[in-house]
């Protein structure tokens, strides 16, 4: 069994070297990320907030379009022409809101 000892020592040394390399790589990566965040964190967050605000505003516009379509259909089916007209207005408003949100967010 004595022949296993040098093999085991070689394996443990190899594992130790691998862990040292991994630790160095992770440490350098974390330092790089922290430096990037310190230098550009505010711009990154501002951009992320702007993107999500744009997405939200576009979704709200699309929901208005869908709601408007339902109002038009229901208004026509029930003969409620004011509801149908309000639906048309909501469709146009929703499309406008979605387009302007995209332009603002670009």
Global confidence as pTM:
0.65
Band the pLDDT of 6: cuts 50, 70, 90. Answer: confident
Task: Report the chain's terminal Cα–Cα distance, integer Å.
Answer: 70
Range of the domain at 47: 4-105
pLDDT (tens digit per residue) in 41-73: 999 999 999 999 999 999 999 999 999 999 999
Instruction: Count structural domains, the chain.
Output: 1
Beta carbons of 99 and 47 less than 8 angstroms apart: no
């Amino acid at each position: 069994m004595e022949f296993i000892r040098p093999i085991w020592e070689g394996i443990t040394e190899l594992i130790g070297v691998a862990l040292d390399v991994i630790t160095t790589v992770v440490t350098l990566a974390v330092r790089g990320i922290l430096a990037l965040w310190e230098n550009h964190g505010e711009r990154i967050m501002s951009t992320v907030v702007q993107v999500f605000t744009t997405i939200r505003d576009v979704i709200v516009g699309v929901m208005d379009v869908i709601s408007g379509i339902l109002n038009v259909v229901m208004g026509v089916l029930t003969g409620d022409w004011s509801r149908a007209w309000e639906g048309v207005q909501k469709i146009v408003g929703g499309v406008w809101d979605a387009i302007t949100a995209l332009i603002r967010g670009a």
